[in-house]
A = this chain, B = another copy of it.
Amino acid sequence: MNCRQCGGRAAINMRHHKLALCAEHYLEWLPEQVARALEMYGMLLPDDHLLVAVSGGKDSLALWDIFARLGIEADGLFIDLGIEEAAGYSSQSRQLAQRFAESRHLRLRIVDVSAELGASIPEAASLTLRGRHKPCSVCGLTKRHIMNRIARDEGYSVLATGHNLDDEAAVLFGNTLNWSAGYLARQAPVLDSAPGLVRKIKPFCRTYERETAAYAVLRGIEYVYEECPHAEGSTSLYHKDVLNRIEEDRPGMKLSFYLSFLKARQEGLFSNPTASPELHPCSACGQPTSAPGICTFCRTWDQVRARRAQTE
């Protein structure tokens, strides 16, 4: 298989794009794709101040790298979740994120969940859920809260995440299997800002996971290879697996599934395409919430601290 640009030996063959490229041309091609997504979906405005959520994985580091190469200034935000299973998953991720930032003279903000909130994510999950569930819901809730708070408090106007096409297609697939009307109507490459909420963008929403991984490897980016140890057996991984099997049989299906969804919505399929629930400020932390009184984040972490006090 040869590179379509130069005829040299291809480093990646993208069946869904009917396109093979050598390392050099692939490393040019992907940033062009991201630039196109940024423009196509109006992700960035002229005076934006950009924060990238960095997990230490391939997607977020590749995204931060591409922003730098496109001349788009962006600070990073790493949230240390305190997940020490799997040979120090969080410590290792933190180190790699820091090393990446230092080597490129980029600014990385770090929030340590244990230091700031009084418990790590696994501890918080075991105190509130008492082992009945995975920590993923507490983790997602906490990350969303922290990302928005840091972005607001530190004057960022937009938050970018490394969600790739496989992530987005799996979420869409899950929301389709049970026809979650609210989630379906709101899933988008850009979530507009609202009072108290910064805009969120997903520049890799059209980029296959294989492509972000290939980019990170070919650019020599050191990233955490492991999935979060708590992700094993999760519904989202199951949905990814089902889609991977369909993609294997029908190359391009994941992309067409996601893009045809965006198109159908834009053309008016849904009756209330951007409706979001009524939001008001949480009476404890001030962040927007749809819950009455205090938000789910504050309620959850109050419970964590109360239970921790009981057990000590």
A interface residues, Cβ below 8 angstroms from B: 176-181, 184-185, 238, 242, 245-246, 249, 253, 256-257, 260-261, 263-264, 267-272
Closest to A238 in B: B249
Task: Determine whether the beta carbon of B238 is less than 8 Å from that of A269.
Answer: no
Other A-B pairs beyond A179-B261, A184-B269, 16, CB < 8 Å? A177-B246, A177-B253, A177-B260, A178-B260, A179-B260, A179-B263, A179-B264, A181-B269, A238-B249, A242-B242, A245-B245, A268-B271, A268-B272, A269-B270, A270-B270, A271-B271
Copies of this protein in the complex: 2
Report which residue of A176, A179, A249 has the largest number of chain B beta carbons within 10 angstroms of its beta carbon: A179
A181/B264 contact (C-beta < 8 A), A242-B246, A246-B242 known: yes
A-B pairs with lowest CB-CB distance, top 4? A179-B264, A179-B260, A271-B271, A181-B269
Closest to A257 in B: B177
Q: Give the interface SS of chain A, mostly helix, strand, loop or mixed.
A: helix
- Interchain CA distance A5-B273 in the complex, whole Å: 47
A177 to chain B, nearest CB (A): 5
Closest to A264 in B: B179
Task: Determine whether the beta carbon of B185 is less than 8 Å from that of A269.
Answer: yes
- Interchain CA distance A268-B273 in the complex, whole Å: 11
Interfacial chain B residues near A180, Cβ < 8 Å? 264
Task: Determine whether the beta carbon of B185 is less than 8 Å from that of A256.
Answer: no
A183 to chain B, nearest CB (A): 11
Interfacial chain B residues near A268, Cβ < 8 Å? 271-272
Interfacial chain B residues near A178, Cβ < 8 Å? 256-257, 260
Closest to A185 in B: B269
Partner of A269 from B177, B179, B246 at Cβ < 8 Å: B179
A228 to chain B, nearest CB (A): 22
Interfacial chain B residues near A179, Cβ < 8 Å? 257, 260-261, 263-264, 269
- Interchain CA distance A253-B179 in the complex, whole Å: 12
A185 to chain B, nearest CB (A): 7
Closest to A269 in B: B181
Interfacial chain B residues near A264, Cβ < 8 Å? 179-181, 184
- Interchain CA distance A264-B270 in the complex, whole Å: 11
